[in-house]
């Protein structure tokens, strides 16, 4: 199962440090075997989280792409110049 470290949705007004977030590359699909494995590891059958300090979020592509302009070359340099 593919995963990688990630951060919260970037903000142009707030700086946040890494807090242990990871991106798990599985579709949000109750019929998908990989999704069910992740869900079973993180949640009890009633939907309660197994770990008090873990949250399981689904981020839609629309939300994930909200800040796509942050990936444009030079964006953060220009942002820092105007900070």
Q: What is the mean pLDDT of residues 64-79?
A: 92
pLDDT at 8: 84
For residue 21 the two structure tokens come to 């977030």
Q: Is it the case that residue 81 has pLDDT exceeding 90?
A: yes
Q: Report the percentage of the chain scoring pLDDT > 70.
A: 100
Reported pTM: 0.69
Q: What is the mean pLDDT of residues 22-42?
A: 94
Q: Is it the case that residue 82 has pLDDT exceeding 90?
A: no
């Amino acid at each position: 199962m593919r995963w990688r470290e990630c951060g919260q949705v970037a903000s142009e007004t707030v700086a946040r440090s890494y807090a242990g977030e990871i991106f798990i590359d599985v579709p949000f699909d109750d019929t998908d075997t990989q999704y069910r494995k992740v869900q079973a590891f993180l949640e009890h059958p009633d939907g309660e989280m197994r770990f008090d300090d873990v949250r399981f979020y689904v981020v839609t592509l629309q939300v994930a792409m909200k800040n796509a302009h942050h990936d444009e070359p030079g964006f953060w340099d220009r942002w820092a110049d105007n900070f």
